Amino acid sequence: MSAVTKLFGSFAALNGIDLSVARGEKVVVCGPSGSGKSTLIRCINHIEKHDGGSIVVDGCILDHKAANVDRVRREVGMVFQSFNLFPHMSVLANCMLAPMLVRGLKAVEAEEVAIGFLRRVRIADQATKYPSQLSGGQQQRVAIARAMCMRPKIMLLDEPTSALDPEMVKEVLDTMMELGARASVDGMTMICVAHEMGFAREVADRVIFMDEGAIVEEGAPEQFFCQPKTQRARNFLSRILH
């Protein structure tokens, strides 16, 4: 990703982002609200169209051409802040939809895959329920399983815990940590917008700090959280630590 810009009207949400993430690397992106973190990861699977610069995902240039966009989206999974489960489908159907339609799996195969991942997020017993019957934490775990069912090479997580009640944050973080551990084994790349220091320390190879649409600082989690180099990062950290 180089010199990427994204404008909303005259406001530059992303202002010349240069970033490369290696295969299998796990990156946590943090920064104050409105700093462009979400926009950054939404550009990676073209949910948000970037206006300038270039983005290459898994060797494929994201140039707004439908074929390339489709190719990238097949390999990139995404977990949203607000879960975005399909309310008219059961948990299982949510997980089977894309593998069947996009990967062409048969129903039996898709179900096997779905149950496998639902088991991993410890929610297989709820497979026949509908999203509205689950708690926020359970819904987000289903959303993680749904994204995993496509066996993505890259997983994007957009503040997966920030819409949750406090008591549910832990179960989702635990799931994400496990996901991170698995990712190390499978070589899956993870880019996660998150503010939880514990999670970042445990899982991330690198922390990126953004402000005003630009990357201000990056480094290993230990070094970033203990000895931030820039004043802006220090200000930000002092605010989230209270």
Partner 1 sequence: MLEFSIMADALPSLLKGAGLTGRLAVLILLLGMTIAVPLAYARNAQSIWLHGPAKIYILVVRGVPSLLQVFIVYYGLGQLSFVRSSVLWPVLRDPFWCVIIALGLNSAAYTAEIVAGALRMVPKGLLEASQALGLSWFQTQRKVAIPLAVRAALPAYESEIILTIKATSLASTITLLDLTGAARLEVSNTFAPYEVFLTAGAIYFCITTSLSWLLRRFEERLSTDHRTGERSAKKLQPVLPALTNH
Q: For the CB of residue 237, give the shortest distance to partner 1 in the complex, in Å.
A: 30
Output the DSSP codes for 16-28: EE-----TT-EEE
Instruction: Supply the minimum distance, in Å, between the C-beta of residue 199 and partner 1.
Output: 22
Q: How far is the CB of 138 from partner 1 (least distance, A)?
A: 12
**12 within 8 A of 6, measured Cβ to Cβ:** yes
Cα gap 14→6, rounded to integer Å: 5
Residues that bind partner 1 (CB under 8 A): 45, 47, 70, 73-74, 76-78, 80, 82, 84-88, 97-98, 101-102, 129-130, 132-133, 143, 146-147, 150
Smallest gap from Cβ 70 to partner 1, in A, equals 7
Cα–Cα dist 118/133, whole Å: 16
CB of 187 to partner 1, least distance (A): 20
What whole-number distance in Å separates Cα of residue 178 and Cα of residue 196?
15
Q: How many CB atoms are closer than 10 A to CB 106?
A: 10
For the CB of residue 217, give the shortest distance to partner 1 in the complex, in Å. 28
The residue (of 40 and 200) whose beta carbon lies closer to partner 1 is 40
d(CA 181, CA 26): 10
Q: Of 229, 227, 217, 200, which is closest to residue 26 (Cα–Cα)?
A: 200
Contacts of 122 by beta carbon, 8 Å cutoff, 6+ apart: 141, 175
Residues pairing with 157 in the sheet: 79, 192
DSSP assignment of 50-79, as one string? -SEEE-EETTEE--S-HHHHHHHHHHEEEE
CB-nearer residue toward partner 1: 21 or 85: 85
